[in-house]
Amino acid sequence: MTHERKRIAPRPPTPSTRARDTGPPTGRLPDDLLAEQVRRFELFTGVGAGLWTLGLAMDGLILPAVAGRIVSGSVIAVEAGVVLISFGLFLYVRYAGGTPQSKTDFSLWYMLANAAAVALLNTVIRVPTTEHMGHLSWITIVILVSSMIMPSTPRKTLVASLAAASLDPLGIWIADLRGLPVPSVAGTLAFYMPNYACAIVATLPPLYLQRLTRRLREAEDLGSYRLMERLGQGGMGEVWRAHHRLLASDAAIKLVRPEVLGVGDSDDAKLLLRRFEREARATAALSSPHTIQIFDFGATDDGTFYYVMELLTGRDLESLVRDFGPLPANRVLYLLRQACHSLADAHARGLVHRDIKPANVYVCRMGLDYDFVKVLDFGLVKLQGPQTAGQSLLTMDHRASGTPAYMAPEIILGEADVDRRADVYALGCVAYYLLTGQLVFEAETPMKMLLQHVQARPVPPSQRTELPIPPELDDLVLSCLEKDPNKRPQNAEELLRFRWDCRTCERWTNELASAWWQAHMPDLTGPLTVAGVEEGGDADRRVVAFR
């Protein structure tokens, strides 16, 4: 009898959900786009400083020396002032510790400073005459370039651009008050009409960016979850840290987009999605506390399949051994018992994991418990039993699926009756790796490694490490690695019934595990916090999510 949890369909955000949304407000750019804005603003101020410095050098040094033309001191003063403003903003953007939002807000003021300098040169220092009527003001260039390189929100851009466009007419009015000959009002409006046209056009880049931002936020919404940070990417999909906007809690979301995995055609895409859905359903059917917990799963409109699961604090066994070396025998037994509990639950329900490996076994901190094991990624699961005909492993191009270093000989040989004893073999390989820090068989190519799994006898783990390994543990690991499935323990439940206690090693306890974590991973042993108890509240999260 198959047990399956109820599928929870993705839900659109409700008004109350939106009120608690932790994402950026509608009129504000996302943090990653703001960071890119800051980099562009820094470049723009640097280029602006260089161009105004070049103009200052031309008017103050080169023209007097080459053409004998003396430029007004007012022109030199204006150019020197903008050079100082440009360099000052460049240093502020590059080295100051302000927020990206506060820095990007200065971009509009910098546009106005450039426009004001141009207006001073155009109208106050050099009053335009009728012979200048056919030329565009440089303010139009300032407005358009600023909107393309440093777009803000459409409203802010429109207000700043209209203000910049009005500086030329303002200069004409000031010149008229000074009694200088200036064009008529109609002539002035006609002359500077391109300024206002460009101010309207300048709202298009930020308007497009705002729409793109909204679409990105909508694309990152999965039901009530908001994708926050990509934690890893593997052969079956991506893993993201996500935030539930209503409950104010974090979770891990695994998703697969066919284009990310380089799927060749629609048939392969459908196969991958079916395989991914099987992983979610198979995992959700399990109840062992040592199996990763599934909260929700579904598919988006663009064909992306996802499921939501608990966010784990800890490390996978592969990286744990890689960073800290082989584990003592008593700790290995402590971890393997828990992994067997998860697999025994799966085997009792007629499921075979088929991809047991250190990267799929996670050692966590769960409340006050340390070295708490979670088995992940039931993506290659196989359903057994007469009622599941036609539900064998979904693979692409009929290739053997799994990880070569942990594949049982019967999987490699393509035998039809692959069952839970393949998981027992893989668990023996995991135990071997934990005890020695080495694979059961080393080879130059995956094919040579597969051949050794089929033909070669493994060296006892006690002969490949300096750490003490009791003989009974040596024998247990080698029994799991028997080539003939009939000679192995027949399932994980049988392994659980074996006497796993080592007479010659100290029993591993939660106290020993806690001491090890405090010594080697102190950042994951801090005080426990509760996120989102108060509305809008944030909590310190020390999380290393699984990959």
Better-scored residue on pLDDT, 436 or 85: 436
The pLDDT tens digits of the residues spanning 279-329 come to 677 778 888 999 998 888 777 666 677 778 888 889 999 999 999 999 999
Res. 49: pLDDT tops 70: yes
Return d(Cα 459, Cα 257) in angstroms, integer: 42
User: What band does 23 get if pLDDT is binned at 50, 70 and 90?
Assistant: very low
Q: What Å distances lie between residue 500 and 40, 422, 470, 476, 483, CA to CA?
A: 61, 20, 11, 9, 22
Tens of pLDDT along 77-111?
888 888 898 888 888 888 887 777 778 778 888 88
**Taking residues 452-476, what's their average pLDDT?**
92
In contact, 423 and 494? CB cutoff 8 Å = no
Least confident of 437-446, 493-502, 533-542: 533-542
Alpha carbon distance 307, 217 (integer Å) = 19
pLDDT digits (tens, 9 = 90+) for 370-429: 999 999 877 555 555 543 433 333 333 334 456 899 999 998 988 877 888 999 999 999
Calculate the alpha carbon distances from 168 to 73, 142, 146, 173 in Å.
21, 13, 17, 9
Q: Copy the structure tokens of residue 105.
A: 């807000």
pLDDT of residue 335: 94
Question: How many other C-beta atoms are found inside a 10 Å radius of the C-beta of residue 2?
Answer: 12
Q: 358 — phi, psi (to 5°)?
A: -55, -35
Closest CA to 486 of 402, 405, 412, 421: 421
Phi and psi (nearest 5°) for 409? -55, -35
Tell me the C-alpha distance between 141 and 119, whole Å: 12
What pLDDT, in 10s, does the model give residues 246-273? 776 788 888 776 555 555 566 666 676 6
**If DSSP states are collapsed to H, E and C, what string results for 10-38?**
CCCCCHHHHHCCCCCCCCCCCHHHHHHHH
- For residues 208 and 456, the model is more confident at 456
Q: Does domain 313-524 have CATH number 1.10.510.10?
A: yes
Residue 217: pLDDT band (50, 70, 90) is: low
- Strands ordered across the beta sheet of 249-256: 221-222, 225-233, 238-244, 249-256, 305-309, 294-299
User: Would you say residue 170 has pLDDT above 50?
Assistant: yes
Active-site entry in 59, 296, 345, 355: 355
Check if 355 is active-site. yes
At 357-385, the pLDDT tens digits run 999 999 999 989 999 999 987 755 555 55
Does residue 2 surpass a pLDDT of 50? no
Residue 15 has pLDDT above 70, yes or no: no
First to last CA, the chain: 32
465 near 440, Cβ under 8 Å? no
Give the separation between CA 71 and CA 58, rounded to whole angstroms.
Answer: 10
- DSSP of 256-315, one letter per residue? E-TTTTT--SHHHHHHHHHHHHHHHHHHHT---TTBPPEEEEEE-TTS-EEEEEPPP-EE
The token pair at 324 is 């800290």
Segment 451-461 shows an average pLDDT of: 94
Give the residue extent of every domain in the chain. Answer: 31-213, 313-524
Q: What percent of the chain has pLDDT over 90?
A: 24
Q: How many CB atoms lie within 10 A of CB 122?
A: 21
| Dist CA 145 CA 40 (whole Å) | 12
Question: Strand, coil or helix: what is 231?
Answer: strand
Model confidence at 535, in pLDDT bands (50, 70, 90)?
very low
- Does position 22 have pLDDT exceeding 60, yes or no? no
User: How far is Cα 331 from Cα 435, in angstroms, rounded to an integer?
Assistant: 9
d(CA 73, CA 117): 14
The conformation of residue 246, written as its DSSP 8-state character, comes to T
The whole-number pLDDT of residue 528 equals 66
Number of H helices, E strands in the chain: 20, 11
Contact by Cβ (8 Å): 492, 423 = yes
**Percent of the chain with pLDDT strictly greater than 70:** 73
pLDDT at 386: 44
Average pLDDT, the chain: 77
